[in-house]
Amino acid sequence: MAILDNDGNRILAKYYDKNVFATAKEQKAFEKNLFNKTHRANAEIIMLDGLTCVYRSNVDLFFYVMGSSHENELILMSVLNCLYDAVSQILRKNVEKRVVLENLDIVMLAMDEICDGGIVMEADSSALVQRVALRTDDIPLGEQTVAQV
């Protein structure tokens, strides 16, 4: 899973198979190639370097979910939709690079909750948002329980 900006630079990326892209240099090269192939395209899916990649763009961000060539495209698309919808709900429909960077911690948590070790754990965006929602209780730190902290 990856989120790139409109120049093809990485905002956030999570690779689960260490054999496919072992080094950060290989990951960056793949991301640059992927962005070059998809930033002007009107499709939602592409086969690149033996991987099935589904993607979606919004304002100045590109959301990608990649899987092996044997992976079901509908499952990848449901993961992509879950990621995009959850980020959209978390950021209150203001999905832009600046806002994502300001809330990078919760976006990373959402990405971790969707997929664990390459296994899809959640595909429902509303359940995901409830799980990663930050508590904004105005209780002073001294009066909170350990669980609340």
pLDDT one-digit tens code per residue, 13-53 = 999 888 888 899 999 999 999 999 988 888 889 998 889 99
Give the span between the Cα atoms of 91 and 67, in whole angstroms: 26
Greatest Cα pair distance, the chain, in angstroms, is: 54
Of 22, 26, 18, the closest CA to residue 10 belongs to 26
Strand partners, 54: 45, 65
CB 77 within 8 A of CB 113: no
> Quick check: is 142 in a domain?
no
Asked whether residue 73 is assigned to any structural domain, the reply reads yes
Which amino acid is present at 111? M
The CATH number assigned to the domain holding 9 equals: 3.30.450.60
pLDDT exceeds cutoff 70 at 56: yes
Indicate the number of domains in the chain. 1
pTM of the model: 0.83
26 occurs within a structural domain = yes
| Helix H or strand E encompassing 66 | strand 61-68
Can you give the residue range of the structural domain that contains 61?
2-137
